[in-house]
Amino acid sequence: MKYNYVCKILLMIFGIIAIITGAMSMFAGASDPTYSLTTPFNQILDMNLRFLSAIWLGVGLGCLFAVKQVGKDNFTIILLSLLILAGGLGRADNFARFGGVPNIPYLFITISEFVGPALIIWTAINAKKQKLASS
């Protein structure tokens, strides 16, 4: 298996999703229909959402940058993967505190935030092993 290709594809997928959703939430804030339908408007919530969305956008840009690092430097890839995993842990904590998943799409998003980073780290480590074995 060509682990480097799989890792690059996973990083690109997570990167593009993070850039799109980060930019959308950064500019829409709490007025995004995803949030305004279920929560009352709150300036602090809106401000924090925009701030965290900008960080999420940065994670996406980092994932696209990390594509060039596959097979070379795993530190950046592992760090970005752990950031994505931390987001999944935050969602899981929310589910525990509020008594469950708000809707089915968030369940799949959260699962991908646990499975995705594990796959990215695993493929990055194996891509580096393959590169070392071939040289």
Chain centroid to Cα 63, Å, comes to 9
**For residues 18 and 57, is the Cβ–Cβ distance under 8 A?**
yes
Nearest to 74 by CA among 129, 115, 113, 116: 129
**For residues 77 and 70, is the Cβ–Cβ distance under 8 A?**
yes
**For residues 71 and 4, is the Cβ–Cβ distance under 8 A?**
yes
Q: What is the CA radius of gyration of the chain?
A: 17
**For residues 55 and 112, is the Cβ–Cβ distance under 8 A?**
no
Task: Assign 81 a pLDDT band (cuts: 50, 70, 90).
Answer: very high
**For residues 21 and 45, is the Cβ–Cβ distance under 8 A?**
no
pLDDT digits (tens, 9 = 90+) for 26-50: 888 777 766 655 556 677 777 888 8
- Among 51-60, 83-92, 94-103, the least confident range: 94-103
Q: What integer is the mean pLDDT of 124-134?
A: 89
pLDDT for res 102: 81
